[in-house]
Structure 1
């Protein structure tokens, strides 16, 4: 599921060219991601910009519980603008976040997110803000997936 090494570390600010949608339940996320990823790839290809593997998925459960915002994007280099039809998203840097490497089928990542939430609770922490699922390649060309979420002390009123 994961490599078992939950790390607490800062997250960098990210600029993304993305597409987004919303779902009512977590079980709807995979279909939404598939739709968004397909549309992202189509738009990038039409613009002559290949999808290079630097993909970021974000998930945010609205505080009122009404919807889950889902986005799929690709990292933008500094100063670059998204191709036509894509949204510019700027995720702020975070001082403290939980980060864990995920190794397994992308279809099974929901279980890893659930395990991460349990691990946070065991440490007296809770997620705050959007979850990030970052897909990159290491120096040897292997796919690396990191699950990242900003955290705070459980029950804290601080952001």
Structure 2
């Protein structure tokens, strides 16, 4: 593999699609070739913020815009950025395409029915699975918050069934090496 130049690999999809896992594997594989990517994981970034943002549509959009600007800044300083985030807003995706040199958009696609069956996700996606006295989660993207799935993704990976996180990572690493 040749050295990878600066840019942003935007790995998006619903919660539970494997974005963090796949980004971590891609990072490890690239690091093994001498590249040192910067990983921006949406959940980890939220926990670092001094005032954790909420989950309404407006708050999610503000966080997505922050992730875009941060990834843009790091790429502008010569880094390859792997950003694992839900951030399913067409205007954010469009801003990325228009403003980030070396932008590669990856959509990890998993049907909601499959996500409901994944370990630990039933209560997240299926309010009927909650126990007595438990309040359902609100503002869940794909359930009661709209998801604007990518309309121009450079790579769409159906990350379920026979596809493993390693398979998805292989496809992304291959796309990165061909992208330059």
Instruction: Give me the TM-score of the superposition, normalised by structure 2.
Output: 0.27
Larger Rg: 2
